[in-house]
Structure 1
Amino acid sequence: MAPIVDLSRENRPEESKAPSHSTTAIASTSPPSPPADDLPDIVDIVMEMAQAPCEPQNAPPLPAHLEGLAERARDYVEAASSANTRRAYAADWKHFCAWARRQHLDVLPPDPQVVGLYITACASGKVTGDKKPNAVSTIERRLSSITWNFSQRGQPLDRKDRHIATVLAGIRNTHASPPRQKEAILTEDLIAMLETLDRGTLRGLRDRAMLLLGFAGGLRRSEIVGLDVARDQTQDGRGWIEVLDKGVLVALRGKTGWREVEIGRGSSDATCPVVAVQTWLKLARVGHGPLFRRVTGNGKAVAAERLNDQEVARLVKRTALAAGVRGDLSEGDRAEKFSGHSLRAGLASSAEVDERYVQKQLGHTSAEMTRRYQRRRDRFRVNLTRASGL
C-alpha cells in the first residue's frame, strides 16, 4: 500500500517515511503465555470483556475460579457509563473499524495519522459510507469514542498529536455552525400542554406527572424514566423519589455521581408536580419499582416494566404540537424544535431566581453551562443602545 501522507505537510527527515500497514484489517501480536501459576490481572479480564468485533478472539480462557469475579467486574464496567453512552461508543468504534478495513489500514496499535485521515473522511463525507458529511459535533463524538476504546485496550491515543489536533482545528474552522438548540418549554407553554392531556385516564395522569416533574426538576429524559418509587427497589433504577410535606426530594445517579434535586410544591394543585405524582401513584396503584410505566389495556392497566426515555421526547413533541406552541412556525419546523431537553431548558429559562439556584437544580458544574440553557431569558433585558444615548 502507498505510504500515508503526512497531514502536517512538513518535510521532516525523521518523519519522511510513514509507517507501512498490512492489508489485513487488524494486526495484533499475541502476548507470551503466562506461567500456569500466574493469575491474569484484573485489567486483562476487563479488556477481554470489552473486545470489539475487529479484534482477534485469541485470549486464553479465564480460570474457572475467577468467573464470579469477572462477572462482577462486568457489572462495574457497565455502571461506569450509561447505556446510551456505551451504545454510542460501540457504534462509533464499529464505524471507525469498518472505514479502516475498507482502506486496508490497521486499527491497532493506535496511529494518529490513521485517525487524522478518518476524521478528514468524516468531514468530507467520502469513504465513510455516510450519506452526507458528519457535523463537527458528530466528529468530536466519534473521536472521543475512539480515544475511549483505545484506552480500554491499554493503548492510549495521543489526541494532541499534530495529525489529529491540527486537522480537527481546521475542521472546526471550516465546517462549524451555530449550535442547534431545542426550543425551551416556558411556563405558559407547559400549562397549555397539560390542557391537552385527559385527566380521566391513567395515561393522561402519568403524562401530566412526567411533564411537571421533568420541568420542575430540570431533569433529563433518562432521569425521569429512571426513577423508582423508593430507594433500592430495582437493578436498573437511576434514582428514586421521597415525598415530603414541602415537596419531593429526588435522588439521582448522574454522570458525576449522586445528587439531590428539591422539587417544591406548586401554587396550584392543577400545576403542582407533587400533587401530579401523588395522584398517579394512587390511582395507578404503583407502590414499588419503576415510577413511570407503560399503560396497557386501552388505558386501564399499568404494566410492570419501565418506560423508555424516548417516550418522554415523544410526549413533549406531541403535546407541544397539540397546544400550538410556536404556532408561528410550520408544522415541520415545530416538530424539529421540541424534545425531552425542552423541559430542562424551560426551567432554566423560566425560573426568575438567582442563577446559582438554577445551576444547582440542573446539576451543572459551571455557570457558563447553565447559561446555555437559558433560552430567551435575558434577551434585550438590558438595552445598551438606549443606555448609550441613541
Structure 2
Amino acid sequence: MTDDPKITLPSHVVGSGNLDRLIDTARGYAEGAAAPNTLAAYKVDWKHFGRWCRMRGADPMPPSPQLVGLYLADLAAPSDGSPALLPSSIERRLSGLCWNYVARGQALDRKDRHIKNVLDGIKRKHARPPIQKEAITSDDIKAMVATLPFDLRGLRDRAILLIGYAGGLRRSEIVSLDVHNDDTPDSGGWVEIMKAGALLTISSKTGWREVEIGRGSSDQTCPVHALEQWLHFSKIDFGPVFTSVTRDGKRSTEKRLNDKHVARLIKKTALDANIRDGLPEAKLLSMFSGHSLRAGLASSAEVDERYVQKQLGHASAEMTRRYQRRRDRFRVNLTKAAGL
C-alpha cells in the first residue's frame, strides 16, 4: 500500500502520450484541492494510522468503521502511555483519514455508529474550552512595527505585519500573495494597489474572496504605504510579493517566504516591543501565533460585525465571534427584553 494515492487510467484504457499528459495535469489539480499545510498534515495522519494498524496486525484497506472507531478511542486513551490527543485533534485526524480514503477511491462513513458514537463519547468526556491565542491590539501592532529597522528586511516585515493585521489574513494567505494574477503556479492570490487602498484577491477555504485594505491615517502605520515601500525598494514587480532577502540584506530574492516566518515574526516583535510588560518571556511567546493578527482585527475593529465577518472570510457570524476576544458582551439584554 503506497502512502501517496496516484491518479491512473483504468486497466481497460490504452495509454497514450496525450493521456499521460492529462494524468499529470489532473494530478496537479488534485494536489491543489487543499492547502499545502493541510495536505502535509493529512499525509502524516495516514502514516500514523497505517503504523497503528500494522502494529495490531490489521490492514487500513478497505475502510472499516469498526477499526477506525478503535483507533479514535486509542487516541483519546492511549494504551502505550503516549499523550492523549484533544477531541479537536482527534476530529482533525479523522478528517485526514476520510480525505485519504477518498483519494484512494474508497469512502469512510464518519457518521457510521462505530465512529460517531465513539467520537461523541470522546467529546462528552474529554472536551475542554478551546485555548485561544492572544489578540494583537492596534496599540500592540504599532509598538511591534516600531521595533523594526528601515532596511530591506524591516520594510518587508513591516508590510507583512500591517497587511496581515488590517486584512485579517491567515499567515498562509499573506505569503501566498503574488504581484499579479497567475504570476506563479503556487499563487494564492494577488494584489491591486489603488488610490484609496489595496484590493487583495485571495484563494481561501471557501473559494475566492476580495479583501479591501484602506489607507491608514499616517504613513508610519499605513499597511498600503508599507506594502508600496517594500515593493519599491525590493524592486519586486512580478511573482511572490513577500520573498527572502540576501544574506547581506541588500537584495530581495525570488524565493517565496514560508508561512512559519510570519509566526516567528509576530513572536519576535511582540517580545522586542514588550507588549505584555512583566510577563516571563516563555509565557509571552506562547500567547501569540499567526492567528493573533486575525483575532486582533476582529477584536479591535469598531464596526458592524458583518463587515468583520466579510473581511475574515467566515461563512457564519458565530465563527467570527470566536475571534473576538474583547466582544461587547451583554449589549443586548434578553432578560430585560423578556420582561424580567
* TM-score band w.r.t. shorter chain: over 0.9
CA distance in 2, matches of 1:376, 1:94: 40
CA distance in 2, matches of 1:259, 1:159: 30
CA distance in 1, matches of 2:331, 2:40: 42
Q: Spell out the pairing of 1:186-335 with structure 2 (5 A cutoff).
A: 186-199=137-150, 201-335=151-285
1:373 is matched with 323
Change (3 A) 1:86 1:287: same
Matched, 1:164 2:164: no
1:147 is matched with 98
2:133 is matched with 182
- The Cα offsets for residues 277-304 of structure 1, whole Å up to 9 and x where unpaired, read as 1111111111111101111132112111
Matched, 1:64 2:22: no
Would the aligned equivalents of 2:7 and 2:26 in 1 still touch at CA under 8 Å?
Answer: no
Match of 2:39 among 80, 86, 99: 86
Change (3 A) 1:255 1:385: closer
Question: How far 1:271 sits from its partner (Å)?
Answer: 0.6
Matched, 1:361 2:305: no
CA distance in 1, matches of 2:178, 2:25: 23
Q: Which amino acid aligns with 1:272?
A: C
CA distance in 1, matches of 2:109, 2:14: 31
CA distance in 2, matches of 1:135, 1:115: 17
Would the aligned equivalents of 1:126 and 1:133 in 2 still touch at CA under 8 Å?
Answer: no
Change (3 A) 1:251 1:62: farther
Change (3 A) 1:325 1:60: farther
CA distance in 2, matches of 1:328, 1:368: 34
Question: How far 1:62 sits from its partner (Å)?
Answer: 7.3
1:74 is matched with 27
CA distance in 1, matches of 2:61, 2:26: 25
CA distance in 1, matches of 2:268, 2:14: 50
Change (3 A) 1:378 1:158: same
1:116 is matched with 69
Q: Which amino acid aligns with 1:86?
A: L
Change (3 A) 1:89 1:60: farther
Change (3 A) 1:329 1:131: farther
Q: Spell out the pairing of 1:330-345 with structure 2 (5 A cutoff).
A: 330-345=280-295
Structure 2 SS opposite 1:48: coil
- The Cα offsets for residues 36-93 of structure 1, whole Å up to 9 and x where unpaired, read as xxxxxxxxxx96339xxxxxxxx89972332101001111101211111111111101
Question: How far 1:218 sits from its partner (Å)?
Answer: 0.5
Question: How far 1:380 sits from its partner (Å)?
Answer: 7.0
- The Cα offsets for residues 298-336 of structure 1, whole Å up to 9 and x where unpaired, read as 211211110000000000011011111223432211111
1:106 is matched with 59
Q: Which amino acid aligns with 2:92?
A: R
Question: How far 1:379 sits from its partner (Å)?
Answer: 5.0
CA distance in 2, matches of 1:109, 1:234: 38
2:7 is matched with 49
CA distance in 1, matches of 2:6, 2:172: 29
The higher radius of gyration belongs to 1
CA distance in 2, matches of 1:382, 1:104: 58
Question: How far 1:135 sits from its partner (Å)?
Answer: 1.4
| TM-score, normalised via structure 2 length | 0.92
Counting matched residue pairs gives: 333
Would the aligned equivalents of 1:122 and 1:139 in 2 still touch at CA under 8 Å?
Answer: yes
CA distance in 2, matches of 1:163, 1:369: 29
Aligned Cα RMSD in Å? 2.4
CA distance in 1, matches of 2:332, 2:249: 49
Q: Which runs of 5+ in 2 are unaligned?
A: none
| TM-score, normalised via structure 1 length | 0.81
Question: How far 1:255 sits from its partner (Å)?
Answer: 1.3
- The Cα offsets for residues 101-159 of structure 1, whole Å up to 9 and x where unpaired, read as 100012122111101110111111224xx831111111101111111212222321121
Would the aligned equivalents of 1:226 and 1:236 in 2 still touch at CA under 8 Å?
Answer: yes
1:22 is matched with none
Deviates more, 1:268-277 or 1:152-161: 152-161
CA distance in 2, matches of 1:60, 1:47: 20
Would the aligned equivalents of 2:68 and 2:115 in 1 still touch at CA under 8 Å?
Answer: yes
